[in-house]
Structure 1
Amino acid sequence: MSETIATAVPGAQATEHHYETGIRKWIITITVIVAAMLELIDTTIVNVAINHISGNLGASIEDVSWVVTSYAIANVIVIPLSGFLGNLFGRRNYFIGSILLFTAASLLCGMATNIWTLVLFRFIQGIGGGALLPTSQAILYETFKPEERGAATGIFSMGLVLGPTIGPLLGGWLVDYFSWEWCFFVNIPVGLLAAWAALTYVKEPRVTHTVEKIDWAGIGLLSVGIGSLQFILERGESKDWFETPYITWFTIIAVVSLVAFVWHELHTEHPAVDLSVLGRSKNLAIAAVLTFIVGYGLYGSLFVFPVFVQRLLGFTALLTGLVLFPSAMLTGVISMPLGIALQKGASPKALMAVGMIAFFWFCWELGMQTMQSGATNFFWILMLRGLALGFIFIPVTMLAVTGLHGRDIGQATGLNNMVRQLGGSFGIAITNTYVAQRVAAHRSELLTHITPYNPAAVSRIGGLEQAFGSAGAAPVDAHQMAMKAMEYTVTTQSYHLAYMDAFKLIAIVFAVCLPLLLFIRVDKKGKADVSSAH
């Protein structure tokens, strides 16, 4: 069943848009959320399997990291092009084709017998997956009536948070009880079911926009620029940034390509990515900045937390996922009520302020943890994270499309999703580099206390020598073992302090960005018209 509502699209005659109702609406909703979550889960599910892939395929950890990098590069290239590609192939065809490409690539990834074949198929998987986020969002907006759009945003935001959180949990369980190949094989039945549901229930928009000319130059510049930028962010820290010549060259290529891309898209008649939409919506520009910050905080904290609890506190991958899962569920539970509240007139500024303050508090509390912290210590802190993400994601997602009409919605969702992905990449890269620098700084500081002139250090070393000597070690061996034990303690403490600094840095970034909310202009009459979103 569907309900017909007349809508007006600027530059076109009034048209009738059919909003879905009843069971059909909810089948489409579940289909697009599952498709979006497939893409998001695969951004993190492989992370816990890197060691297993390395051993099974006989590859170094550095080579295996390309399995993550290639997927991220493909994702971030395709996401901003989704509106253009949806117009080129037809949104429904593009959506179904992307699901099938993602599913087929998942099968090939699981069947790969060497690391570089896996990297290639993973890149192809990223091309299919990159389309699923913005296209799912556009389909969801077209499925719900304007007065229900807050609920739709809440449902979609739930998937955005659950996906990256479920990834490590599902990946850890599959690796522990099956094998790393199942991190890819698990996508196949879900992908095929989603493709069938999309083929059966999703309709092509009544108002379509034909592509008169393919902007090959824009596509090429975007691919080179964004691909190079993502490569730098993924590989820079491990290669000591600009101390490595090819990182410098890729940086130059990224800057030149992206500047040329922006100039070209603003001056060509048929752009692949319509950047002028940023000028037509100041709220979209502010939403893009806030989305970048949210991506930075979400992925940055999600990168540090598992490393901290697994390396220093002894958590397993499965336990780490279980500890994170309740907070993601909380975000899912509150997403729809928050979306409905926004639709009924709640202030997005107030909700985002609550969310950003809560996220600041969450990161600051994590930055105060000790080496004696256990799973129970993190429960309420992580629930604060779940609350914060709900209060941030829903308003900023709606803000990105408020006041926009027709095909501008497709461009806005593509740009906003790309910015979030880039924010996450910057968050991981900056956090990784910051941790490395702080480890070195804390190590140097701690070593200044281990001298023959520090009674506490002398007493500690003497006690260790006595303990090792009592266990049967010779005096010389006991001294060497005592010094190794002190070295281990210094290294552990250095990493602990560095991880705490990283959490506090993310907290400070959110505090500094809080004044951006003052620039948001909310016009209750300026609701988005999504009747022709792609």
Structure 2
Amino acid sequence: MPQQADSYTLIAPSRRLLAGLVLALSNFMVVLDLTIANVSVPHIAGNLGIAPSQGTWVITGYAVAEAICVPLTGWLALRFGTVRVFIASMVGFGFFSVMCGLSPTLGMLVACRLGQGICGGPIMPMSQTLLLRIFPPEARGRAMGLWAMTTLLGPAMGPIIGGYISDNWSWHWIFFINLPVAAICTFAAIALLKPVETDRRILPIDRIGLVLLIFWIGCLQIMLDLGREHDWFADPMILTLAILAGIGFVAFIIWELTEEHPIVNLRIFRHRGFTAGVLALALSFGAYFASIVVIPQWLQTSMGYTATMAGIVTAFTAMAALTTAPIAARMVGKVDPRIMVCGAVLWLAIMSVWRSQWTSGADFWTLVMPQLVQGFAMPFFIVPLTTITLSAVHPSETASAAGLQNFLRTMAIAIATSVVLTFWEDAQKVSRSEIVSTLQPDAVQSSLSGAGFGMDQIRQIIANTVDQEATMLAVDHTFLISAFVLLFAASVIWLSPKPKPNVDTSAAH
């Protein structure tokens, strides 16, 4: 994206800080919406009369739409102008947020979440690009620090805000609260950012590549979300979706590798460092996000936690990450980033093993401690991975590499959400069958009968206990699998060569 070297002089210093805060706030809102619905899924499912597993479409729909739109950001900015794209995205995000809150059915809610993701996708990279344009070189480090803080705070505050609103108001308000923020950012951008608008250029767009991208990702995600409800490949519809996703994916790769102006530059994968880095990033983020999805639902459906308390438990990871982010940033360039990434991912794997020892009698602090300790390692995983991936490509490929990296990270979140919930549900069924096969309820029945309970009540108590323990065992098994995925990701990073120093990471995110 072309930048004027002195574009920051076009905004008065007195207005520059205000513009920076507006851009940081817009980024915070978009990142917040990635996790704000996680703890609200049981509320949404209950209100709309659907299963909690269907409610996860609210999470995956947003993530998938955002993933599809991220690769388009560069083209949109060059074609229409950076500020125009930013403003249009903010308006669209606010509109679809209101429509999400007004949705009376799951279908409309998911459709509006798709709209949110499409509009929200360009806001993250656009907000960072505009920050670099309005601040002089000596102040860009602090500006990027402010931007990074909002990126870390968003996932931390999402579960807490979403939980509090769902418990005390209504789940609809987790979407309505975006409207005033979007309105403020839109009017502020119109007033403050017009002087740094970029020139517009007529550029070709890879329409066939875009259609193929939407097609195979859509088929894959629908297959993953519906598969657990339709006995997977025993259902002809799921099998058909899987075949279509595979054909679309192969066609997409062939087309993008032969297209002169591809919408996704797959040729970047020829760089071993980039390939190893994004593979480790996708695996690690997917395994990490599994806990963000499973823990709130388990705590609310089985452990009796409110959405607010479930959000607080989940959020401790991101809160702890804020304390070590500056240390990780200073260590990059002094320590081999591969060592930092490997150590951090191994740390995440150890935390998954720790969580796999949870029991149904675990108290609040037993649940919080692995979340808190895990958070200290997060910056040592995210920050150096950017250096590893972007140092492996040519300078002219940096923007494309950053977009592809964000695309894969977002897709990993969407796919992991579907896969982990499928595994969790299957593990519950297996665990329940194993518990029932070894259950000897005679003594329990006798004891409860002596306490005055009727036979129907006794059966219900035993059934509830079995369900709770089966769910708990399924959670433990899920975290064990996550640990194995993280161990593999920690080894994958060593396929990357040692990165070059002095890498420009401004195109990241």
Residue 174 (structure 1) aligned with residue 150 (structure 2): no
Relative to structure 1, the CA distance from residue 427 to residue 161 in structure 2 (aligned partners, 3 Å threshold; closer, same or farther) is: farther
Report the residue type matching 1:190 in the other structure: V
Q: Cα distance 1:352–1:523, how it changes in 2: closer, same or farther (>3 A)?
A: closer
The residue number in structure 2 matching 1:43 is 34
Cα 1:164–1:230 change in 2 (3 A) is farther
Say if 1:37 and 1:162, in contact at 8 Å, map to a contact too.
Answer: yes
Deviates more, 1:329-338 or 1:506-515: 329-338
What's the counterpart of residue 263 of structure 2? 272
Give the CA deviation at 1:220.
Answer: 0.9
Structure 1 residues without counterparts, runs of 5 or longer: 1-8, 451-456
Q: 1:88 aligns with which of 71, 76, 79?
A: 79
CA distance in 1, matches of 2:129, 2:158: 24
| Within-5 A mapping of 1:65-214 | 65-140=56-131, 156-202=147-193, 210-214=201-205
- Residue in 1 that maps onto 2:330: 340
Cα distance, 1:137 vs structure 2: 4.3
The Cα of 1:131 is off from its aligned counterpart by 1.9
Once the two structures are superposed, the pairs formed by residues 116-515 of structure 1 within 5 Å of their partners are 116-140=107-131, 156-202=147-193, 210-279=201-270, 281-342=271-332, 344-402=333-391, 408-450=397-439, 457=440, 461-471=442-452, 473=454, 477=455, 481-515=457-491
Q: CA deviation at 1:463?
A: 4.2
| Residue-by-residue CA offset, 1:465-504 (whole Å, 9 max, x unaligned) | 243244164xxx3xx5444433333322222111111111
Q: TM-score, normalised by structure 2?
A: 0.88
The CA deviation string for residues 422-476 of structure 1, in whole angstroms up to 9 with x for no partner, is 21223222322222332233233323323xxxxxx3xx52343243244164xxx
Paired residue secondary structure (2:160)? helix
User: SS state of the match for residue 438, structure 2?
Assistant: coil
User: Greater CA deviation, 432-441 or 415-424?
Assistant: 432-441
Alpha carbons 1:300, 1:428 under 8 Å: kept: yes
Counterpart Cα distance in 2 of 1:233 and 1:153: 36
Whether the 8 Å CA contact 1:154–1:335 is kept in 2: the answer is no
Tell me if structure 2 keeps the 8 A contact 1:154–1:394.
no
Give me the CA root mean square deviation: 3.3
TM-score, normalised via structure 1 length:
0.84
Per-residue CA deviations over 1:235-293 (Å, capped at 9, x if unaligned) read 322333222222222222222112212211221122222222333x4332222112201
SS of the residue aligned with 2:266? coil
Cα distance, 1:372–1:87 mapped onto 2, change above 3 Å: same
| Alpha-carbon distance between aligned partners in 1 of 2:421 and 2:100, rounded to the nearest angstrom | 27
Range moving further from structure 2, 352-361 or 29-38:
29-38
**Kindly tell me: are residues 300 and 216 of structure 1, through their superposed partners in 2, closer, same or farther at Cα, counting changes over 3 Å?**
same
- Counterpart-to-counterpart distance in 2, 1:38 and 1:245: 40
- Note the alpha carbon deviations across 1:324-380, whole angstroms, 9 max, x for none: 3333122123223322332x5333122212211211111111111122211112333
Q: 1:115 to 1:37 in 2, by over 3 A?
A: same
Instruction: Report the Cα distance in structure 2 between the residues aligned to 1:70 and 1:363, rounded to whole angstroms.
Output: 26
Gap regions ≥5 residues in structure 2: none
* Residue type of the alignment partner of 2:413: G
String of CA shifts for 1:195-251, please: whole Å, max 9, x gaps.
Answer: 334444447889868343221111111111122222223332233322222222222
CA shift in 2, pair 1:30/1:503, >3 Å: farther
Identity %: 27
**1:401, CA displacement in angstroms?**
2.6
CA contact (8 A) 1:138 1:409 kept: no
CA distance in 1, matches of 2:45, 2:51: 6
Change (3 A) 1:229 1:136: farther
CA distance in 2, matches of 1:491, 1:284: 45
Letter matched to residue 162 of structure 1: L
Query: Which secondary structure state, in structure 2, belongs to the residue aligned with residue 239 of structure 1?
Result: coil
SS in 2 for 1:335: helix
| Cα separation, 1, equivalents of 2:276 and 2:191 | 38
Give distance in 1, aligned partners of 2:74 and 2:485: 31
SS in 1 for 2:477: helix
Structure 1 47/323 Cα, relative in aligned 2: closer, same or farther at 3 Å? closer
- Give the deviation of 1:526 after TM superposition: 5.3
Greater displacement, 45-54 / 288-297: 45-54
Task: Tell me, in whole angstroms, the C-alpha distance in 1 between the residues paired with 2:53 and 2:505.
Answer: 47
Separation in structure 2 between the aligned mates of residue 495 and residue 46 of structure 1, nearest angstrom: 22
**Counterpart AA for 1:241:** W
Instruction: Report the AA paired with residue 362 of structure 1.
Output: M
Quick one: distance in 2 between partners of 1:219 and 1:210? Answer: 20
Distance 2:484 2:140 in 1: 33
Q: Is the 8 A contact 1:408 1:533 kept in 2?
A: no
Q: In the aligned structure 2, how far is the partner of 1:395 from the partner of 1:153?
A: 16
Moved more, 197-206 or 265-274: 197-206
- The secondary structure found in structure 1 opposite 2:40 is helix
Q: Match of 1:179, SS?
A: coil
Rounded to whole Å, the distance in 2 between the matches of 1:90 and 1:176 is 42
Q: CA deviation at 1:186?
A: 0.5
Give the drift of 1:84.
2.2
